[in-house]
Amino acid sequence: MILISSCLAGQQVRYNETHCLNPRLKQLIEQNMALPVCPELLGGFSIPREPAEIVGGDGGDVLDGTAVVKEKSGQIVTDMYIQGAYKTLEMAKQLQVTTVVLKEYSPSCGSSTIYNGAFSNMKTNGEGVTTTLLRRNGIDVMSEYSFMKELDRVEDI
């Protein structure tokens, strides 16, 4: 079993009530090979919500207490991001999941790139909060881009 970001499965759970459907990932869920998960909803957010970015580092720094997650209006929402990460970890452990496919660029789900914290639409290297927590617990986290490459490679064999 793998977990996949709910927004990649076509669910309108993003901050602005949109999705970023990847039909092949949705198909894995329909075939009961994967389950959708949205760390931000697990953290207590609703839809829609304000956009948020990590300020002062990345997900590892948030978990270590040296960076925060801030909404565009300035409200600090770090605790909800951390709660969402721990609930996702709990779900992954209960389901004995070894691979999680999360949406690149998100402050929760980014796996190698996130927005830079200035709300200027600029990106930087770094992981989201949930990604870091899962990786620190031995779970393989891939972006949709890496996972699709891997899927293509396996299907070509």
| Min dist. Cβ of residue 75 to ligand SF4 (A) | 17
* 88 contributes a contact to ligand SF4 by CB under 6 A: no
Other beta carbons within 10 angstroms of residue 55's beta carbon come to: 19
Q: CB nearer to ligand SF4: give 39 or 60.
A: 39
CA distance 79 to 95: 24
* 7 contributes a contact to ligand SF4 by CB under 6 A: yes
* 22 contributes a contact to ligand SF4 by CB under 6 A: no
Cis preceding-peptide flag for 36 (omega within 30 of 0): no
Return left, alpha or beta for 119; rule: phi > 0 is left, psi -120 to 50 is alpha, else beta.
Answer: left
* 14 contributes a contact to ligand SF4 by CB under 6 A: yes
Query: In terms of DSSP H, where are the helices of the chain?
Result: 23-30, 39-42, 59-64, 78-94, 129-136, 144-156
Residues in 109-148 at the binding interface with ligand SF4, rule: CB under 6 A: 109
* 5 contributes a contact to ligand SF4 by CB under 6 A: yes
Q: CB nearer to ligand SF4: give 41 or 151.
A: 41
Binding site for ligand SF4 (CB under 6 A): 5-7, 13-14, 38-40, 103, 106, 108-109
